[in-house]
Amino acid sequence: MLALINTNRMSPPIAPIGLDYIASSARKAGIDIELLDLGLTENTEGLIKEFFSKNDPELVGITFRNADDCFWPSADWFVPKLKQTIDEIRTLTKSPIVLGGIGFSIFARPILEYAGADFGICGDGEIALIELIRQLRGSKEFKRVPGLLWRDENKIHENPPSWPEPLSLGTERNFVDNPAYFKRGGQCGIETKRGCNRNCIYCADPLAKGTKLRLRNPYEVVDEIQSLLNQGVNVLHICDSEFNLSYNHAMDICIEINNRSLGEKVSWYTYMSPAPFNSVLAQEMAKAGCIGVDFTGDSANESMLRTYNQHHKKENIATSVKLCKENGMAVMVDLLLGGPGETPETVKETIEFAKTIDADCIGATLGMRIYPRTFMEKYVTEQLYRGNHNSIRRKYTGPLNLLMPTFYISEQLGEKPAELVKDLINGDKRFFEPSGEDATDYNYNDNTSLIKAIENGARGAFWHILNQLNKNL
What distances in angstroms separate CA 25 from CA 127, 178, 289, one per listed residue?
A: 7, 18, 29
Is the Cβ of residue 353 or residue 407 nearer to ligand B12 in the bound state?
407
Is the Cβ of residue 101 or residue 340 nearer to ligand B12 in the bound state?
101
In angstroms, rounded to a whole number, what is the distance separating the alpha carbons of residues 422 and 265? 40
Is the Cβ of residue 263 or residue 460 nearer to ligand B12 in the bound state?
460
DSSP-based helix, strand, coil % in the chain, nearest 5: 40, 20, 40
Closest CA relative to residue 59, chosen from 98, 22, 8: 98
- Burial string for 383-414 (b: 16+ CB within 10 Å, else e) reads beeeeeeebbbbeeeeeeebbbbbbbbbbbbe
Q: Which residues bind ligand B12 (CB under 6 A)?
A: 8, 10, 13-14, 17-18, 21-22, 61-63, 65-71, 98, 100-103, 105, 121, 124-126, 129, 187-189, 191, 203-205, 209, 237, 239, 241, 443-445, 462
Residue 267 belongs to what H/E stretch?
Answer: strand 267-272
Sign of CA dihedral 50, 55, 58, 62: negative
Is the Cβ of residue 254 or residue 454 nearer to ligand B12 in the bound state?
454
SS3 287: helix
What minimum distance in Å lies between the beta carbon of 387 and ligand B12? Answer: 28
Q: Quote the Cα angle for 213-215-217, to 5°.
A: 175
Is the Cβ of residue 340 or residue 363 nearer to ligand B12 in the bound state?
363
Q: Are 468 and 92 in contact (CB under 8 A)?
A: no
Residue nearest ligand B12 (C-beta atom): 100
What minimum distance in Å lies between the beta carbon of 462 and ligand B12? Answer: 5
**What secondary structure letter does DSSP report for 440?**
G
Is the Cβ of residue 245 or residue 257 nearer to ligand B12 in the bound state?
245
Is the Cβ of residue 128 or residue 425 nearer to ligand B12 in the bound state?
128
What minimum distance in Å lies between the beta carbon of 265 and ligand B12? Answer: 18
Is the Cβ of residue 70 or residue 213 nearer to ligand B12 in the bound state?
70
SS (H, E, C) 404-427: CCEEECCHHHCCCHHHHHHHHHCC
What minimum distance in Å lies between the beta carbon of 421 and ligand B12? Answer: 17
What minimum distance in Å lies between the beta carbon of 120 and ligand B12? Answer: 8
